[in-house]
Structure 1
């Protein structure tokens, strides 16, 4: 039998050694902190700034609203918006020869000095509907400038990017700039519906002609002082290097109906609610995917000491990191597949028990999972009685593959083009973009819009700081001017 002193010494020694190792790794980790981008120095003239802002205001006034029922889409608004773009950006329309695709999407081609793989910029014309305009501080389609911000439906999603790209291209054409290789600009008209009539057909058009892409840049992340815990107000540019998949399913519960005065022990709504609770209480596996691991490597070294210790020692402390992410809806969305009930339908009369009840569920799939495996999981959680069925609605989308690492020249160009001093980092896009239709062309697919803390995505009081919009023009101008030869 070992003496008592030895029984105490060795465990204490191991604990101290482990603690010293964790601290040493954290100190080394601190030395790997990347330098933030210094931000662009040049700015627009006051006259150019005022003119660009006026054009964005006019763009917001076109009610280019997406509708699930395409027969309800106001095509007059979309056509008017395209005419407005033609008048506002004459050099772009003269030199880039826009082509109408899918009835509303514009595809511009900017010939380069040489053929070869080109660069694709994406933005979209369509916006989501306004549910109750009376709840807005300012009319949602007025494009008003108040409190140093521009307000209106679609200003952040996605007309500030769209106008910013066109402003930058118009400026470069006026300067006589010609890119080294082709540049394509796709302005989709149905991104909010999946982009199947617009971006998907634009991708097919490029593919049918054997055209190649070296890099793709679409909307996605942005510059934020508020969204990265622990950064204490320091600006972080979130560059999406992958996006989650999309799956919408419908649960259909069936049971005998009847008079509401004599309900059965278990009705169709009962079955549906039980199934919903079962699915909602199921937690999909949490993990740090590659984009989030890269985020940990970029942001971790400059976080406060406790978080820095955890990120520096992920091999041991990853469960704690995952628990911290899971504490908020936004954090949980970054580490696991999510499921949200979005529509419920049952019954047509107060005194009739419905024989059928339905619910739609929207799932966002973490990279590493698939539509097939997720469906298998869902079906395994449903009761075996067969009275609750599950069917797929719409077109599912698999999670995308990861873009190139932060050491790639294309990522470096994004970093160098930031309009303000900020630390850039990859991250996982939890939503879907038109960029996913082009992932077969290249791995260099990035999702980033040069806006600073935009507000009101798909919500009321959507607005963006005027300075942020003007910074976006500078971003796109620098980005296009410095594309690799």
Structure 2
């Protein structure tokens, strides 16, 4: 018996030694601890004024498949022409479906594949706040001041389309998502032209106008246009990642720049569950709503299996060096501790979304009266697909959850597979890292999985190098303002974003 115990103890000691060696020798990314403030912000009031004016124009997209009021988009186009005459006079300008805008700045070497920067001009509605000014009054071609919409809601410090500049910030719907990025790209290209910088390869800007409702008329058609011209882009840059301020990522004592190298897929299905209807005074032993509840419980309790994909493993390798010893030990010893690591990751909503196809029950409909049993109950479940899972996999998962019940399953909304994963050993990715060091030298830059949907997915037909990142550092509160109330971008963030894109445009082939 003692001999067996000694053998077990010896095995445990050997395992502990192996675990410690792997923990201390694992190639975690080294953090740049050099004290540096990076590029010094230079305030440009004219650039701030141009963004402020663009925010004042309520280019709201609502409804399905881009069926909304386009009058404000006409106003927005005219505002851009008035604001950036150098760009319109020195680039090839193309409109797709009238409101999709393309700008091509020609390079000196046509044999090089071009690069493409994306944004979109549409914004989500402002919630309960009122829009006080019409688009006709917002754009003043005679250079009169643009009127400000003052405080119209308790949830907004300034009106959602005020474009107010106060407290070191620019306020309004779209300040972060995505007019801030759209105008920063125009400012960057405008600076290139003003400084007479001729890039080696062509630089394209492409702005959709219905991203918030699926991008079918905007980005999808722009990408198809590029494909029809046999264009292949060396890199595509879009939204999808941010610089998360120190403290906003639990367990990481640093700013973290998360660069989306892939995005999750999307599948929403409506499940109709059939049963016996009638009066609630004589209910059957199993009602349709009871059956639906069983299926929903199955879907929530037995979700798609979690897994650590190569992309997320690279993410942990990059950030692990600034995490606690226990976390580093789990990351560097997945051969032994992967079940423990996955167990911890799936307990947190944010990290759970990185390691599995998520399941969200979102809508339900049954009887319209309290004493009536509906013969049919329907509910909607939304899945966000992890790269490595397919729509077919999810459908098989649904079939297993509904086994034994009389159901009808219908796909709704846009259905798409998870995107391809873009490589990180490319010049286009390394230039992102260099540009981040330029504005936030101590931030950890790391590849990441974008859990939301972006326009960039549609550009897979013209590039394999697609990166989703907006170079702004935000707090949790600022992150929550996106698509919510009191959206704003700090002037520092806006100035740094302009410099970031100008850095990439001017240094791509150096």
TM-score, normalised to structure 1, is: 0.92
| Structure 2: distance between partners of 1:335 and 1:284 | 10
The 1:17/1:351 distance shift into structure 2, 3 A limit, reads closer
Q: Give the stretch that moved more between structures: 253-262 or 432-441.
A: 253-262
CA deviations on 1:306-344 (whole Å, 9 max, x unpaired) are 111222222222222212211211111111001112233
1:285 to 296, 305, 311: 305
The 1:82/1:38 distance shift into structure 2, 3 A limit, reads farther
| Structure 2: distance between partners of 1:26 and 1:213 | 40
Alignment length (residue pairs)? 477
Q: Contact 2:65–2:213 at 8 Å: present in 1 too?
A: no
The alpha carbon displacement at 1:144 in A equals 2.7
**Residue of structure 1 in register with 2:502 after alignment:** 477
1:361 to 381, 392, 402: 381
Counterparts of 1:120-139 in structure 2, within 5 Å, are 120-133=116-129, 134=153, 136-138=155-157, 139=159
| Structure 2: distance between partners of 1:402 and 1:94 | 37
Q: Contact 1:237–1:424 at 8 Å: present in 2 too?
A: yes
**Residue of structure 1 in register with 2:453 after alignment:** 432
The alpha carbon displacement at 1:36 in A equals 7.1
| Structure 2: distance between partners of 1:70 and 1:32 | 43
Q: Contact 1:242–1:428 at 8 Å: present in 2 too?
A: yes
Q: Contact 2:231–2:462 at 8 Å: present in 1 too?
A: no
TM-score, normalised to structure 2, is: 0.87
Counterparts of 1:338-353 in structure 2, within 5 Å, are 338-349=358-369, 352-353=372-373
1:452 to 469, 473, 481: 473
| Structure 2: distance between partners of 1:112 and 1:412 | 21
Counterparts of 1:230-379 in structure 2, within 5 Å, are 230-232=251-253, 234-259=254-279, 263-349=283-369, 352-379=372-399
Q: Give the stretch that moved more between structures: 8-17 or 433-442.
A: 8-17
Q: Residue 469 of structure 2: SS of its match in structure 1?
A: strand
Q: Residue 470 of structure 2: SS of its match in structure 1?
A: strand
The 1:145/1:344 distance shift into structure 2, 3 A limit, reads farther
Q: Contact 1:40–1:417 at 8 Å: present in 2 too?
A: no
Counterparts of 1:213-224 in structure 2, within 5 Å, are 213-224=233-244
1:11 to 8, 12, 20: 8
**Residue of structure 2 in register with 1:466 after alignment:** 491
CA deviations on 1:272-302 (whole Å, 9 max, x unpaired) are 3332222222221101112111111111122
CA deviations on 1:11-64 (whole Å, 9 max, x unpaired) are 222222221222222222367525479988444643x2x222222222222222
Q: Contact 2:291–2:405 at 8 Å: present in 1 too?
A: no
Task: State the 4+ residue runs in structure 1 displaced beyond 6 angstroms.
Answer: 36-40
The alpha carbon displacement at 1:264 in A equals 4.6
The 1:37/1:292 distance shift into structure 2, 3 A limit, reads farther
The 1:152/1:481 distance shift into structure 2, 3 A limit, reads same
Q: Give the stretch that moved more between structures: 365-374 or 437-446.
A: 437-446
Q: Contact 1:43–1:474 at 8 Å: present in 2 too?
A: no
RMSD: 2.3
Q: Give the stretch that moved more between structures: 366-375 or 275-284.
A: 275-284
| Structure 2: distance between partners of 1:44 and 1:436 | 33
The alpha carbon displacement at 1:75 in A equals 0.6
| Structure 1: distance between partners of 2:15 and 2:6 | 14
Q: Residue 411 of structure 2: SS of its match in structure 1?
A: strand
**Residue of structure 1 in register with 2:463 after alignment:** 442
The 1:397/1:38 distance shift into structure 2, 3 A limit, reads farther
| Structure 2: distance between partners of 1:31 and 1:374 | 34
Q: Give the stretch that moved more between structures: 92-101 or 333-342.
A: 92-101
**Residue of structure 2 in register with 1:415 after alignment:** 433
Q: Contact 2:93–2:104 at 8 Å: present in 1 too?
A: yes
Q: Contact 2:28–2:318 at 8 Å: present in 1 too?
A: no
The 1:251/1:75 distance shift into structure 2, 3 A limit, reads same
Q: Contact 1:39–1:416 at 8 Å: present in 2 too?
A: no
